[in-house]
Structure 1
């Protein structure tokens, strides 16, 4: 669930907006903001907390404008349609996905288009408590191939030091092992239990830990425009991606 602690108001004239945002982001992995009314403003915010990571679809500065471009969408390009997007993390098909995702609304849809966010820590803790076999199966090395033949072979949940990270996509660019496939309905149910819908208006958006939070959207009608930036947190800020769990059920651990 989201509460007032996850909201940090960003004033478009406030050049010192980053410190408070960083504190909330480090604690919760997700911060909502207001008053970021342009791609350039989002870029200034991003540069204050992160090293920008370019994307296939971004411009030279690292900003991707996401809107419905019409026509038949190829695999991996569903974001540029008006359809719903399953909960996912970005860039799951590479070895080191960017740790931060920043999104701002340039223009809301006429109807629909709400963002959906899900805390991967809540999902993992839920599975570790109610379905420990599922948590282990979905953490098994080489249990999923993300991104097609040239993608990344790994797992949905992975241990990195004392932290756990999540990577996920649920489209035709993900291939799961038989054991992981068995538990996908349980995973989807847990995701649904912890999903929160965000209705974003112009200037509103979020920064999230892409190694902890899933995100998606509902289908929409109208000219919805979103600005997206990927990045890795600046080292001196003390933002550590992923999450800690009281119940770490990685393969080989005790139940």
Structure 2
């Protein structure tokens, strides 16, 4: 009997994503392998900056990084955010692999939105309530998505949508609470480096991501995906206190 290594890899990653929303990966040696493995996990979603195969190459492109929404093409830090927040249904998964590491800096940052939600639920429930109100955040400009930072998903789950650049406007009703949220995000930030061929898959409806500033020719490859239905990877996360049976 033949074993489909791609499907076996995708099933293992999908199980990790369904449980934790984050899965490390390694030994990605070619761009073709990267795309093939991504396609085995989900349907590749084209990005504004992607090539024909759906891959976006992030590296320093000088003046381009000074434009709003293009900061990823510079060497500066990227604050924690979710991808494609300005569309109603952002891609669910991000597949990332390192092509070339930086000389200094360039560490990845990742933050579990469920941990941030639980932190606020325990310590600042009024803040959490405010950040969950509908129509309090406009993502992506006038033609973007009007919603909230924490929003309801299917089955009583919650998903997060967040950014801090010029592509979001928050209602005055919640602006005063944003520093509390930023402090909670900082408390739960994970910092890690990647060697060439190493990467991760994260659930974009649950995890925030970013990077620190760097020097050198750092190269990262990205794919946006929506998981294949057979993997049953749910959107968002189960809020604290909600029974599994209700959330499923």
In the alignment, what sits opposite 1:171?
Answer: 165
Contact 1:128–1:247 (Cα < 8 Å) also in 2: no
Alpha-carbon distance in 1 for matches of 2:83, 2:139: 11
In the alignment, what sits opposite 1:159?
Answer: 152
Contact 2:153–2:235 (Cα < 8 Å) also in 1: no
Alpha-carbon distance in 2 for matches of 1:247, 1:138: 19
In the alignment, what sits opposite 1:95?
Answer: 88
Contact 1:142–1:154 (Cα < 8 Å) also in 2: yes
Gaps of 5+ in 1: 1-12, 249-255
Gaps of 5+ in 2: 243-248
Is residue 2:68 matched to residue 1:69? no
In the alignment, what sits opposite 1:56?
Answer: 48
Residues 65-144 of structure 1 aligned to structure 2 (within 5 Å): 65-72=57-64, 73-144=66-137
Which structure is higher in helix share?
2
Is residue 2:236 matched to residue 1:235? no
Aligned CA-pair RMSD: 1.3
What is the CA distance between 1:149 and its match in structure 2?
1.6
What is the CA distance between 1:34 and its match in structure 2?
0.8
What is the CA distance between 1:14 and its match in structure 2?
4.8
State which drifts further: 91-100 or 37-46.
Answer: 37-46
Residues 159-238 of structure 1 aligned to structure 2 (within 5 Å): 159-161=152-154, 162-238=156-232
SS of corresponding position for 1:59: coil
Contact 1:156–1:168 (Cα < 8 Å) also in 2: yes
SS of corresponding position for 2:119: helix
Cα deviation code 1:116-161 (max 9, x no counterpart): 0000000011001100111011111010111112211110000113
Alpha-carbon distance in 2 for matches of 1:67, 1:39: 16
Alpha-carbon distance in 2 for matches of 1:137, 1:39: 43
TM-score relative to the length of structure 1 = 0.90
Alpha-carbon distance in 2 for matches of 1:241, 1:111: 35
State which drifts further: 162-171 or 145-154.
Answer: 145-154
Is residue 2:33 matched to residue 1:41? yes
Cα deviation code 1:181-216 (max 9, x no counterpart): 110000000000000011001000000000000000
What is the CA distance between 1:54 and its match in structure 2?
0.5
Number of aligned residue pairs: give it: 236
What is the CA distance between 1:39 and its match in structure 2?
2.4
Contact 2:98–2:219 (Cα < 8 Å) also in 1: yes
What is the CA distance between 1:38 and its match in structure 2?
2.8
